[in-house]
Structure 1
Amino acid sequence: MNLFIRISQPCPCVEKLIINNRYGQNQKESYKLMNDKSNLSIAKYYNLIELHIDRAHDDYIDEFLCNTKTYFQNNILLDIDYEAITKSHT
């Protein structure tokens, strides 16, 4: 179960999420595994309106934004380092 699913389940009403960790993940799932259709868990953020990941390691950016199993009901304010997102997704 990935980090963001574990956060979303006990906190369904979270409106603002700040990820501040510059260290890479020790046990990161591969991108292929995260997007495997057999793993049906979805991190659902129904009330999220702000996401601040400008001080997070690229692992967290990949897991949160590239994981096709993250659901946002609303448009959100995204605070992210532009270089980090362009570097990891080019």
Structure 2
Amino acid sequence: MRTLELSSPGSLRDELNALVLAGGKTATATLLAEYVDEAEGEGYTDLAHWRRAHIDYWQNLEGRSVDDTTPVVCMHFTRAI
């Protein structure tokens, strides 16, 4: 099961988590810059580098056709210890 971190720790996160658990919150958004920061944590130098590596993987290793209109799902996850 994935862990979803909404907002920063504190009362707003508690409120958002309660809404998710109750079914009242079903979507969220973040800044592109935050995705770039996460990609750099995997060794990518910038968003273009992340994009090239993933398109190469999807096309060459999985045989999928990928272009600028292909929907991509981005997830944030953490390892529970």
TM-score by length of structure 2 reads 0.23
Higher strand share: 1
The structure showing larger relative contact order (alpha-carbon pairs under 8 Å, at least 6 residues apart) is 1
Higher helix share: 2
TM-score by length of structure 1 reads 0.22
